[in-house]
Amino acid sequence: ELKVEQNPLFLSMQEGKNYTIYCNYSTTSDRLYWYRQDPGKSLESLFVLLSNGAVKQEGRLMASLDTKARLSTLHITAAVHDLSATYFCAVGTAGGTSYGKLTFGQGTILTVHP
């Protein structure tokens, strides 16, 4: 059974600081997703990582994937208040008829303080 674990689950940051959210998963997968969820809203896709060593960046967020370690990171650079949200990683089930099934981590609630 695929398990996905995020840490930390709660992250309180000061504006301007850097931090990293970690996502570990238990079995081989060919896709790793990062989503953002604002309170009362649906999920916004941030990144899809497909291969070992993949790195993607958008603004102050950068995601990377190490498939050998079964680890993805979401790095936040110089945090701003607008980044306050819940961040989920999700791992896709590889191939076959189950393509598109995602197993989610617990989510990291990020709060950025002035």
Partner 1 sequence: SAVISQKPSRDICQRGTSLTIQCQVDSQVTMMFWYRQQPGQSLTLIATANQGSEATYESGFVIDKFPISRPNLTFSTLTVSNMSPEDSSIYLCSVGGSGSVEQYFGPGTRLTVT
84 makes contact with partner 1 (CB under 8 A): no
50 makes contact with partner 1 (CB under 8 A): yes
Closer residue to partner 1, CB minimum distance, 25 or 33: 33
Cα distance between residue 24 and residue 4, in whole Å: 6
User: What is the nearest approach in angstroms of partner 1 to the Cβ of residue 76?
Assistant: 20
107 makes contact with partner 1 (CB under 8 A): yes
Question: Which residue type does 80 have?
Answer: V
Q: Which of 13, 21, 29, 33 binds partner 1 (CB under 8 A)?
A: 33
Angle (CA) 1 104 99, round 5°:
70
Q: Cβ(86)–Cβ(44) under 8 Å?
A: no
36 makes contact with partner 1 (CB under 8 A): no
DSSP structure string for 31-92: EEEEEEE-TT--EEEEEEE-STT-EEEETTEEEEEETTTTEEEEEE-S--GGG-EEEEEEEE
Q: Which of 20, 60, 71, 104 binds partner 1 (CB under 8 A)?
A: 104
User: What is the nearest approach in angstroms of partner 1 to the Cβ of residue 34?
Assistant: 12
Under the rule (CB under 8 A), what is the footprint of partner 1? 31, 33, 35, 40-43, 45, 48, 50, 88, 90, 92, 97-107
